Amino acid sequence: MISRRSLMLGSAAAGLVSFAPSAIGQVPAVDTLPASAPTRRLSLTAQETEAKLLGPDKPATRHVCAYDGELFKIVRGRRGTRLIVDFENRLPDPTTVHWHGIRVPYLSDGVAPLTQDVVPPGGRFSYNVPLPDTGLYFFHPHCDETGQVGRGLFALLVVDDEAEDKVRFDAECFIVVKDWRLGDDGQWLEMSTEDGAANAGTFGNVRATNGQTTAPRVEAPAYGDVRVRTIVADATRVIDLGCDTDDAFMLAVDGQALPPVPFKALPDDVWRMGPAMRLDMQVRMPGPGQEVKIYDYRSSEPYLLTTLVAVDKGKHPSPLKAKALPPPRVPLPDVRKAKKLEFLIQMAAGPTIVSPSLPADDPLSKALVNSLCVGKTTHWAISRDSWAAGDALRLPPPLARLDNGASYIVSMTNVTKHMHPMHLHGHVFRVLSHSKKPKMPQYLADTVIVEPNETVDIAFKAVSGNWVFHCHILEHMDTGLMGWFKVA
């Protein structure tokens, strides 16, 4: 398989496309752990493999992408430790690694060209990944993300710590929502379509949980409490997560604990999750032989994600009690002193897109994005500015220049017909309000859905770095729905 990108990489290597992140203007990088923090070295490769994605008796799929050749890999680390990740790209295409939701120094954020150049085939890059916060995270490429994540390139990163260990669960269960785009012959279909990119995204035609086309059945102790940890790793799909028992609580959003919320207290008894969003929940198991079913209720027919099967492990019925996780340790914004920035999420309107002009000596006015990591066309914009795409390879100016340590409210209004899960790199933000959902609990997150005709306000304490802010429906990002903040 020779892709457009590998052909283009030939030109890049020949110097026809040249760009170094240094031209953007580097700012001080902030490390979120002390230099004395214990360090663990981790080798990581991105590589191709084969897998039977359609089922055991169906043809195997070639050119599956996976870290260390292992689909749905789970990496676990202790809070307060630092991972030094020696990454090697064994794919035939350039790539990078982005540590989603982890507060890394921005030079390890994995965004070409803002924080690093692409890692070419055969290339290496060392990432400094401090783990200052517990929770469920993941990592994935930030170059040709639609194609590479679409073919399986991501892994879960679970950060545990002693305070959390004390909140004992009887079992832990992971639900990874990730569909495939495959023909009957088991080979990949085109990951992106023009129609999808300009609308809700291109959906997978084979639904799967943890890579399996039939919902996993997971045994758990009868009368026990299961920690169910769900992530939407799909590029497109938005789910309404819920279950068929009232004995369930929401414990953490995007890894950040909140006071437990009973599912039955949520609007429609579900939690809406778009691409990249995570949820930790507690489910109380019924008696031996009985089941709890976890569904995506957004499908026309509820789609079964996982069945928990209660097995007798000698536990007896006990009063239901929510298991609160230790509170988050992320820096919180001072909302009263925060400066408010307002943005529109909109369709790109071709020639009407204008960028504020920059002084001619500003390096940004010359900065070009490496064409390897951008989409073919532009459909979307943030306040009239689109990320580079197609032949328009100029890096847009920052959405705003922010001060390190200052608090900001970012108010996003979605004037499109589609929802957009917006992700801010390098920060965990407080979700202040959803204009269409006044009864939402208070929570922290790194990705938040903005519904059509909705305004969502988030607040955060800015950390020095060049940080992108984008829609996590990957085709929307590839076709313009990305901007960046310069924090210095």
- Interactions with Cu ion, residue window 367-406 (CB under 5 A): none
Contact between 476 and Cu ion (CB under 5 A)? yes
At closest approach, how far in Å is the CB of 464 from Cu ion? 27
Select 229 or 272, whichever has its Cβ closest to Cu ion.
272
Select 409 or 473, whichever has its Cβ closest to Cu ion.
473
At closest approach, how far in Å is the CB of 166 from Cu ion? 39
Torsion of CA 348, 349, 351, 354, to 10 degrees: -60
Select 53 or 473, whichever has its Cβ closest to Cu ion.
473
At closest approach, how far in Å is the CB of 96 from Cu ion? 21
At closest approach, how far in Å is the CB of 420 from Cu ion? 3
Select 420 or 486, whichever has its Cβ closest to Cu ion.
420
Select 141 or 421, whichever has its Cβ closest to Cu ion.
421
Q: Which stretch binds Cu ion (CB under 5 A): 187-195, 203-211, 283-291, 468-476?
A: 468-476
Q: Which stretch binds Cu ion (CB under 5 A): 22-30, 69-77, 79-87, 473-481?
A: 473-481
Select 255 or 480, whichever has its Cβ closest to Cu ion.
480
Select 310 or 473, whichever has its Cβ closest to Cu ion.
473
Please check whether residue 202 is in contact with residue 177, taking contact to mean a CB–CB distance below 8 angstroms: no
At closest approach, how far in Å is the CB of 374 from Cu ion? 16
Q: Which stretch binds Cu ion (CB under 5 A): 235-243, 265-273, 355-363, 415-423?
A: 415-423
Of residues 473, 474, 482, 487, which one binds Cu ion by CB under 5 A? 473
Of residues 228, 251, 471, 487, which one binds Cu ion by CB under 5 A? 471
Q: Which stretch binds Cu ion (CB under 5 A): 137-145, 313-321, 403-411, 414-422?
A: 414-422
Q: Is 442 exposed, middle or buried (0-12, 13-18, 19+ CB in 10 A)?
A: exposed
Q: Is 353 exposed, middle or buried (0-12, 13-18, 19+ CB in 10 A)?
A: middle
Please check whether residue 274 is in contact with residue 285, taking contact to mean a CB–CB distance below 8 angstroms: no
Contact between 420 and Cu ion (CB under 5 A)? yes
Q: Which stretch binds Cu ion (CB under 5 A): 16-24, 109-117, 153-161, 470-478?
A: 470-478
Select 64 or 473, whichever has its Cβ closest to Cu ion.
473
Interface residues with Cu ion (CB under 5 A)? 420, 471, 473, 476
